[in-house]
Amino acid sequence: MGIKGCLIKTLDIFISYLYKVFKTIFRKNIREDILNLSTIRIINTSQTLDVIENSIVNKQKGVYMRFGDGDVLLMNLKSDARQASNIFLAEEMKEAFECKGGNVHKCLAIHSEKYGYEEGMCIGNHLVTDKDAQDLLMSTFQFFIGENIFSPIALHFKASHDIIRAKSFLKVLKNNTRIFIGNELFKEEVSNRLFGEIKHIKTPEKNAYNEIERIYSEAKNELLKIDSFCVVVVAMGCSGRPLMKRLYNENYNVYLFDFGSLLDGFNNSMTRTWLKINKINYKYLLKDL
């Protein structure tokens, strides 16, 4: 290759590089403009619970998935506090974010002044800063285009700020739940009071995705025994989202409910700041369910 050829090749590489840089900047600026100028609002906790309950009462197949920072980290091949990253999990997490459908209720942890919050929320208690909320939304915006963003802490917040509503929802949940997929350390006594004496598919406290094939297989085997609509409660951290995605894509008439860290409170394990801040009456919530 002569000098002229080398110069042409170098110029081509430089032009290609500039194109990629400006393309990235252009896309980033567009996303920022959309997020800054739009009227994006998170669905409030009351409406979120109503939508979920309506799906369950009307025996509609669906899924409630609670996405946050940890899910984004894992999708980008970075580890979460309770789950090490790997390429298969990253791909499945992306597929979970991509789930769509009439009863696919996807959440994002963006309760903030910018996108919507409720009286009683504060930093450490379900509220995040505008910057953190916008950063999370920017990193997942493409998965929510044209869709509602539901509250990931609807039941959590009601348990501390509208306990009667929380209890009424828990009754509906218990009456319809047939399978509980969650932490192997969760007390059977509490599980039975919350969900009834149903099948508990046990998951590791950490790195649950490492056993997803076993968990998935057990869940499918149990669902084959059920010939009517039911709820499957999932509580296995970020690793639960890929599992829910898999089960939702199967031909089962189920509503998959992502319970969240409120379950730790029932188990007397104060794992989160919000659980320590709020004085939740767990005895009342469990009584006569």
Cβ-Cβ contacts under 8 Å for 56 (sequence gap 6 or more): 172, 173, 176, 231, 255, 257
High-pLDDT (> 90) share of the chain, %: 84
Residue 218 burial by CB count (10 A; 0-12/13-18/19+): exposed, middle or buried?
middle
Q: Containing H/E element for 67? A: strand 62-67
Residue 110: closest CA among 93, 125, 132:
132
Work out the percent of the chain whose per-residue pLDDT is above 70.
87
Confidence grade of residue 28 (pLDDT, cut at 50, 70, 90): low
Task: Write the pLDDT tens digit of every residue in 51-90.
Answer: 999 999 999 999 999 999 999 999 999 999 999 999 999 9
* Residue 49 scores a pLDDT above 70: yes
Question: What pLDDT is recorded for position 20?
Answer: 55
What is the model's pLDDT at position 39? 76
Residue spans of the domains in the chain: they are: 1-38, 45-286
pLDDT at 9 over 60: no
Q: Is the pLDDT of residue 26 over 80?
A: no
pLDDT of residue 271: 86
Residue 6 has pLDDT above 60, yes or no: no
- Taking Cα atoms as reference points, which of 141, 152, 136 lies closest to residue 261? 152
Across the range 82-111, mean pLDDT stands at 96
**19-28, 165-174, 267-276: which is most confident:** 165-174
